[in-house]
Structure 1
Amino acid sequence: MTQQLERILILGTGLLGASTGLALRSAGYSGSIIGWDKDGTQSHIALGAGAIDSVTSNPVETARESQLILLATPVYAILDWMKQLAPVLTNDHLVTDLGSTKAQITEAGNQLFNQRGRAGFLAGHPMAGKEVSGAQAAEAKLFQNAVWIFTTDENQPPLQPDAMHHASEWRAWVEKFGCRTLDLDAHRHDELVAWVSHLPQFLSTALTALIQDEVGDAPELTAVGGRALREMTRLGSSPYSMWRDIALTNTEAIAAAIHALEQRLAHLRENLRTPELREEFEQANHFRKS
């Protein structure tokens, strides 16, 4: 395809930002990739890994000189960057993001961007990641066979022509990463990920913390704990720095999911000696098979 995105700025060169840079190179992108991270160590690790070509000390000026600005930070930092960049970018720029919640970001994108004379904004969320953070864990294949979601809302104005062209090219690169793209309403996105992503994380965090409190100092724990323990507590090592913003920006949906889980666990507790326990296992097996 004809490449028009000749210069890409990645703000946030941790796991997802650095992996995006590596994925771009692996997919054949030949333009410039510039990086910035508030933790200079992360940007220099990304530079050494080949995820970016250079590190900028002036991200706002570099954004002006780029066609695509990728916001790959926690959610509140994404919102802060959007406010900083909106007044200085024009309609030949496209801003996109990797934020894990989308309602607030999509709404802010339509208020700050996607207007005449302003840059375009394309809200995105790759359903990929690891339980560890940082550029040192980045890999080009992180997004292969993943779904990359782009979100909109009912008030979304159409992108201006230049931004629309950049958005089409960006979508094409995402597909070259090995992703399937999906367009979804932002509020629906947040409802769904509360169940399939956020609830598993908070369940694992609670379980891991509980085990630490109850038997964490038991010398036999390593021998007794097998695959079930490893799998169920794997997400327990996820960083608070990212999940804090997710909890604050999707509180209602996450709280509803946790409440429903509490009720389901209470139902299991009350039916450990009844045939209804079998029904729960059958329901779980049906979901896994489907």
Structure 2
Amino acid sequence: MIERILILGTGLLGASTGLALRAAGFTGSIIGWDKDPGQAQEALARRSIDSVAANALTAAEASQLILLATPVYAILDWMEQLAPILGPSHLITDVGSTKALISQAGNRLFNDPGRAGFLPGHPMAGKEVSGAAQADAGLFQGAVWIFTSESESESAKENPPVMSFQSAELAASWRKWVEAIGCRTLDLEAKRHDELVAWVSHLPQFLATALTALLQTELGNAPELTAVGGRALREMTRLGSSPYSMWRDVALTNTEAVAAALQALEQRLAHLRENLRTPELRDEFDLANRFRKG
């Protein structure tokens, strides 16, 4: 049973997790820490956490579950810092947007006799804005929370990573809490996860960013723009307001898959441009409608 949780990173996802756990009936202690003290204090004011840790590593040792709710490279850095000080009675999990590097590091640093357990995770939930002030207890309702494993190499098949009994119990308990806050869980290999999210999450973001930047360049602050654009403009550019800090690590850690998706989109746009006056344009609309109906 999980009774003590530390959330490292009290931004949107971290603070929302704290609120969601409380709404679902979690009665244990939730401690928070953030590199930005203002974010930690905002999370405390919103009752996403019970207290702010003075020292993150000391608080981690005193906790059972440590949730890493930071950008991907910060998650990797925390994993390196936590590995030497935590043991088999601890479980570390995360909400990182890409999973290959995180899963590899998890198997290297954890999930061995005498070491803490590590359960890579990624909730498919969020907003185009960040920060504890935007935290929402209902953020995860109806979402999928993905748990990943590293693609099995020959060495992994010969020496598969195994959590301690205590860590495995905490992992099972955490999965139940994830379901309690409104999520459906899904298990995927890390490589497959990164391939899929490149198409369904990362590509829409970079498309929205490119479109919004293009509109800024071509039309700027034209006074009639908002009225003419209407709902289509608002919906298509909503993600365009996402901050670079949220997406830098995604671009750096899933470069190949994102680049492949962007290249495929470029080819599709070129096909549309070349067929604006042919029946093939109708075929593209038919395909798009078929996808939505499916």
- TM-score w.r.t. the length of structure 1 is 0.98
Moved over 4 A (4+): none
Distance 1:231 1:34 in 2: 36
1:196 to 2:200 alignment: yes
- Residue in structure 2 matched with residue 248 of structure 1 by the alignment: 252
Task: Give CA deviations for 1:117-139 in whole Å, capped at 9, x if unaligned.
Answer: 11000000000000000001111
Q: Which residue of 1 aligns with 2:14?
A: 17
2:39 alignment counterpart = 42
Is 1:53 matched up with 2:50?
yes
Q: Tell me which residue corresponds to 2:231.
A: 227
**CA distance in 2: counterparts of 1:113 and 1:127, whole angstroms:** 24
- Secondary structure (helix, strand or coil) at the match of 1:69 reads strand
Aligned runs of 1:69-84 on 2, under 5 Å? 69-84=66-81
**Structure 1: distance between partners of 2:14 and 2:221:** 37
Q: Deviations over 1:120-163 (max 9, x none)?
A: 00000000000000001111110000000000022351211000
- What letter corresponds to residue 85 of structure 1 in structure 2? L
Alpha-carbon distance in structure 2 between the residues aligned to 1:92 and 1:209 = 48
For 2:3 and 2:293, locate their aligned partners in 1 and report how far apart those are by CA, in whole Å. 45
Give the Cα separation in 2 of the matches to 1:269 and 1:87. Answer: 56
Matched to 1:140, the amino acid is A
> Do residues 139 (structure 1) and 136 (structure 2) align?
yes
CA–CA distance in 1 between the matches of 2:246 and 2:83?
Answer: 24
3-state SS in 2 of match to 1:133: coil
Task: Spell out, residue by residue over 1:11-61, the C-alpha distance to the aligned partner (whole angstroms, 9 max, x if none).
Answer: 000000000000110010000000000011111110011100000120000
Shift of 1:217: 2.4
**1:279 equivalent among 263, 267, 283:** 283
Is contact 2:39–2:131 with CA below 8 Å preserved after alignment?
yes
Cα distance in 2 for residues equivalent to 1:237 and 1:47 = 26
Task: Give the Cα separation in 2 of the matches to 1:135 and 1:91.
Answer: 31
For the pair 1:152 / 2:149, whether they are aligned, the reply is: yes
Inter-partner Cα distance in structure 2 for 1:79 and 1:257? 25
What is the number of residues matched between the two proteins? 287
Instruction: Kindly state the Cα deviation for residue 184 of structure 1 after the two structures are TM-superposed.
Output: 0.3
Equivalent-residue separation in structure 2 for 1:58 and 1:41 (angstroms): 16
Task: Name whichever of 22-31 and 155-164 sits farther off.
Answer: 155-164
Secondary structure, aligned partner of 2:7: strand
1:263, 1:57 → 2: CA distance? 52
The structure 1 residue matched to 2:273, chosen from 261, 265, 269, is 269
Q: Equivalents in 2 of 1:239, 1:211: separation in Å?
A: 17
Return the alpha-carbon distance in structure 1 between the equivalents of residues 138 and 76 of structure 2: 28
Distance 1:218 1:261 in 2: 28
Amino acid at match of 2:122: H
Match of 1:174 among 162, 172, 178: 178
Q: Percent identity?
A: 74
Q: What is the deviation of 1:100?
A: 0.2
How large is the Cα RMSD of the aligned pairs? 0.6
Task: Return the offset for 1:223.
Answer: 1.6
User: Does structure 1 retain, via aligned residues, the 8 Å contact 2:73–2:249?
Assistant: yes
Q: What SS does the corresponding residue of 2:138 show, helix, strand or coil?
A: helix
Equivalent in the alignment of 2:121: 124
State yes or no: 1:28 paired with 2:32: no
**Rounded Cα–Cα distance in structure 2 between residues aligned with 1:166 and 1:30:** 16
